[in-house]
Chains A and B, each alone.
Chain A
Amino acid sequence: MKPAPFVHHAPRSVEEAVDVLAQVGHDGKVLAGGQSLIPILNMRLASPGHLVDINRVAGLDRVEVRDGDVRVGALVRHAELEHHEGAYAALPLLRQALVNVAHPAIRNRGTTVGSIAHADAAGEMPAILALTEGVVEAAGPRGTREISPADFFLGALETCLAEDELAVAVRFPRFSPGTATAFAESARRHGDYAMAGVAAAVTVVDGVITDARTSFVSVTDVPSVLDLTEVLGGSEPADADWAAAAEVVRGHVEPEADIHATADYRRMLAGELARRVLAQAAQNAATTKGSSH
């Protein structure tokens, strides 16, 4: 299991990286943390002729906690974002989800932007980008653009990024006051890709649910947001109809079978996990009112 040969490029700036990408075209691949790409190369499931290693590109390694969002550069490792206290205070959901991404040693190397660019339906962070209604900032020879999750994710392992485009950062907007979040997933082993996972954000104002949404891991092709306000809105967390919400979730998801679980089982899991995270988020929102926990 050794990778096939390739030409290594180590650009120092975004412009340089984009130039190289444009030159090598479809024979090139961006190398960020390599935690998804290198296993594929080692197994020779892919053998690109050129790797554009962005690890030396200046300015991509910052987490910026801003008024409206948390901006994460393309070289921010999962672990840095997970441990970033400012990011946690602004958007606890990031840490809630990140602790489920693989194992610490993988998180020390893999990047959050890389996992979004990789667009694995089993990845946690694409679902978080979707739930926060975030933005991908991409740079290319034609300049920069900002892409919404709905436009960004085209299918499993497929995004709208062009060959010569680099995702330079993603932005995760904060939730409105009174919103709390929760994340849960079920994996065969701790740290594995989940059989199903659900992120929830619930807003409680004056003791009543005003907004409830979920997004999903491993049970939808592309990360999608399910708005459950219609089912849960107006109820108090103590007597909201979680079972009805779970029912809607089961109808919404489109899981596929693999060797670890059947589609039906994943659908059941998505419903049950949704029930749990919605209840938990609602309870948190009710008890820590006003804050975004």
Chain B
Amino acid sequence: MTDMTTEQLLDVTVNVNGVPRTASVPARRLLSDFLRHDLQLTGTHVGCEHGVCGACTVLVDGKPMRSCLMFAVTAQDHRVTTVEGLCDAPDARPCATGERMNPVQQAFAECHGLQCGFCTPGFLTTVTAYLEENPAPTQDEAREAISGNLCRCTGYQNIVKSVLRAAEIRTERLGEDGGEAGYAAAPAARHTSSSANGGERA
């Protein structure tokens, strides 16, 4: 064990939701804590800190990963998308109360896909990435797609429904957008596409 009184701090820069964010943290800072406490992006939740529940799932370079099983220093210079970042996706739209929601967020609201909401950010990131890969899942595929995340409230049925509904909304919005959608485009590309559709941004 190293001397605990003088733990070395490292300047870590991670591109979070399209913006490079830097904080001085010890090497052992988990990415989940870095996001939640150093950057105060508390939308990402922590339910187990051993990789099983999926509440902490964020997109790293567009792919869902457990932020509790990654050190912030390892994420250095990578792109991380959190639930907050989904609201900036080009296919996000403002809802009646003003929040911008991407198709998955919208579908969860429509289908009662959440109760306490604690597991929800992990589902939203997971499903958002999944629909990029499989834009029109069957019910069984939808269930399988969410089977790496735990939810203690919903019994999953309305989450499955939300995945199917999200696919529909996504396709609808894809039509509106002239073919450009998705969170997974690099942030630069994302900003380009959103400025091309600037009128839709709140």
A residues at B contact (CB < 8 Å): 1-8, 10, 31, 34-35, 38-39, 41-43, 47, 49, 51, 53, 55, 79, 102-106, 108-109, 190-191
Q: Is B69 in contact with A39, judged by CB distance below 8 angstroms?
A: yes
Q: Is B26 an interface residue (CB 8 A)?
A: yes
Q: Is A5 in contact with B147, judged by CB distance below 8 angstroms?
A: no
| Count of chain A to chain B residue pairs whose CB atoms are closer than 8 Å in the complex | 93
Q: How far apart are A249's CB and chain B's nearest CB, in angstroms? A: 29
Q: How far apart are B104's CB and chain A's nearest CB, in angstroms? A: 16
Q: With the chains together, A267 CA to B181 CA distance in Å?
A: 50
Known: A3-B28, A5-B2. A34 touches B69 (CB 8 A): yes
Q: Is B49 in contact with A1, judged by CB distance below 8 angstroms?
A: yes
Known: A1-B50, A103-B54. A10 touches B66 (CB 8 A): no
Q: Is A108 in contact with B147, judged by CB distance below 8 angstroms?
A: no
Q: Is B147 in contact with A191, judged by CB distance below 8 angstroms?
A: yes
Contact residue among A6, A8, A43, A105 (Cβ-Cβ distance under 8 Å from B66)? A105
On chain A, the residues within 8 Å of B54 by CB distance are: 103, 105
Q: Is B74 in contact with A34, judged by CB distance below 8 angstroms?
A: yes
User: Total interface residues on B, using CB and 8 Å?
Assistant: 31
Q: With the chains together, A109 CA to B59 CA distance in Å?
A: 11
Q: Is B65 in contact with A47, judged by CB distance below 8 angstroms?
A: no
Contact residue among B2, B30, B63, B74 (Cβ-Cβ distance under 8 Å from A6)? B2
Q: Is A8 in contact with B73, judged by CB distance below 8 angstroms?
A: yes
Q: How far apart are A77's CB and chain B's nearest CB, in angstroms? A: 9
Known: A8-B73, A38-B70. A104 touches B51 (CB 8 A): no
Nearest CB in chain B to that of A77: its residue: B63
Q: Is B19 an interface residue (CB 8 A)?
A: no
Q: Is A4 in contact with B64, judged by CB distance below 8 angstroms?
A: no
On chain B, the residues within 8 Å of A106 by CB distance are: 51, 66, 69, 148
On chain B, the residues within 8 Å of A102 by CB distance are: 148
Q: Is A5 in contact with B1, judged by CB distance below 8 angstroms?
A: yes
Scoring B54, B57, B71 by chain A CB atoms within 10 A of each residue's CB, the highest score goes to B71
On chain A, the residues within 8 Å of B40 by CB distance are: none
